[in-house]
Amino acid sequence: MVDPEANATDGRDTAAEALPRLLAVFARAEFQAPVEAISGLVALLAEDWPDDPSRGDLDKLAAAASRLDGMVRALLDPSATEGLMQGRDAAAASSHLRHELRTPITAILGYGELLAEEIEAVPDNAQTGIIGDVLDAARRLLAQIDAMVEFMRLEAQGRGEEAQRLLDADAALHEPMEAIRSVLKEPAVTGPRALGRVLVVDDNASTLDLLSRRLRRDGHEVTSCDNGEGALELLAGTDFDLVLLDLLMPGLSGIEVLHRIKNAPETAALPVIIVSALDEIESAVHCIESGADDYLTKPINPVLLRARMTASLERKFLRDRDQATTQKLRHEQERSEGLLLNVLPRSVVERFRNGESVIADSFACATILFSDLVDFTQTTATLPPDVVLELLNGIFSRFDRLTAEHGLEKIKTIGDAYMAAGGLPEACRDHAARAAAMALRMPAEVAAASRALGQDLRIRIGLHTGPVAAGIIGKDKFIYDVWGDTVNVASRMEALGEPGRVHVTGETLAALGGRFGAEARTPVQVKGRGVMSTYLLDALPD
């Protein structure tokens, strides 16, 4: 996308340069209706007028009406008025225009009055009323032209108060004259325009060149193509902001190109403006229904082209910003969800989403794993804090990987202690085996991580199996935690264990079902439980 702020108008358009556009606006607003009325009324006269000597005056009246109609229609195309206005300021140009238009209007008034005199003596002649309507329309048009010339002269001389009084004298002049005032006082383009990367497709070489030059002069990045197949190839390899597409082309037609653009997911939202010599309403409707954003007929009005392109580009850029915002929000949502899943189990997060506010569950049987680094505080007392943090992060990251590999749930870390659980938050039958398999791999991970930083750390690990409760603790910095006597006993197993060994209770050994070898220890005194028989698991086989 081209930066619109860097391409704001420099205000070089003068009143004389804007005059063709101004006259087109005024002609469309005020001249066209009375001229069409005059032409229609003259046609009605000609249908029933008798074939007598007065017929020659009627033919001259009709010729003057046709000439006036052609002049006003030409004014609707700003490019056609450029020659008429060439080298004149606003006041001089409007006076010249009055002179040009007065000639056919004067002829209409003259021949109309002659015809009115010839049939004046005929009673109840319907054509008398028609001629009167023609003369009224011509006089009204002449007055409007005179008012426009006077208004433009006053505005060009800076006599705004007098110009305003002219408007106040005729309320019908307000809208068209204000249009003239805005053009005279402001540049043709006000403020920054939306500029972008435009693909122009037209099989006519001169039209293609003219459009491309005009758009580049306006500040757009332009790529041109003279056939539909080539346009589709360009669209497949380049990001464009807008397509100006000719409708009638040999080979792949414009409507077929439009269909393919709108049917391809990667280009479906790309704005397309159809440019065609066909001015039938059915053609425009068909293109709009097929997905075109707009439809312009040739010869192209440059002011209208600029306005339609600006509107299409602004809608496109607004949609792009909306999509970027949506993508950013989706990314942030995924990031937030990732952070949340680092704190809570996925099943618990889903329950929160489903409306549960209090989560507390009981599990008849689960296995709790506790571990603690032996003499960690003394060993690391002389190390810088960042080295200590790096060491712990390296060890616990390895433990996190093991937890995921064995299907356990990480509960928390406290200092250099690591706690995990098997059999929750989703129950499973082999939770003890999963916890034992992870526990037996942990000493080697500690050794590898500590050696990488020049240390020689060892770990104690304890397991116990039994009933637990689990749920969310806290409202602000909440965690998923487990509690109960099983947790306390597992902690005691860790504290009473041997460095580098996995210390388990009889309940855990029974839950393992003989899948792991173990050696019995001398019964130990366990706080809160008395004397217990405990075991040290054998290392995993190579």
Q: Which is higher by pLDDT, 159 or 64? A: 64
Segment 297-306 long-range contacts (CB within 8 Å, at least 24 positions apart) = 298/207, 299/77, 299/79, 300/211, 300/275, 301/24, 301/77, 301/78, 302/78, 302/79, 302/214, 303/21, 303/78, 303/188, 305/214, 306/189, 306/193, 306/218
Rounded to an integer, the average pLDDT of 393-400 is: 92
Q: Please enumerate in sequence order all residues whose Cβ is within 8 A of that of 3, keeping only pairs 6 or more positions apart, or say none.
A: 195
In CATH, 346-537 is 3.30.70.1230: yes
Rounded to an integer, the average pLDDT of 27-41 is: 74
For the whole model, what pTM was predicted?
Answer: 0.47
Provide the CA 11 distance to its chain's centre, in angstroms: 30
Q: How many CB atoms lie within 10 A of CB 226?
A: 17
Predicted pLDDT of residue 445: 93
Q: Are 176 and 25 a contacting pair, CB within 8 Å?
A: yes
What is the domain partition of the chain in residue ranges?
A: 6-185, 197-319, 346-537
Tally of CA atoms within 13 A in the half-sphere of 431 that contains its CB: 26
Q: Are 328 and 382 a contacting pair, CB within 8 Å?
A: no
Q: Which is higher by pLDDT, 117 or 533? A: 533
Tokens of 5: 């702020």
Q: Are 112 and 135 a contacting pair, CB within 8 Å?
A: yes
Predicted pLDDT of residue 451: 84
- 197-319: CATH superfamily: Response regulator (3.40.50.2300)
- Residues above pLDDT 70, as percent of the chain: 83
Predicted pLDDT of residue 20: 53
Q: Please enumerate in sequence order all residues whose Cβ is within 8 A of that of 148, keeping only pairs 6 or more positions apart, or say none.
A: 26, 30, 94, 98, 176, 177, 180
Q: In sequence order, what are the beta bridge partners of 368? A: 421, 464
- pLDDT tens-digit map of 277-333: 887 788 888 898 989 999 988 777 788 888 889 889 998 888 888 888 888 888 888
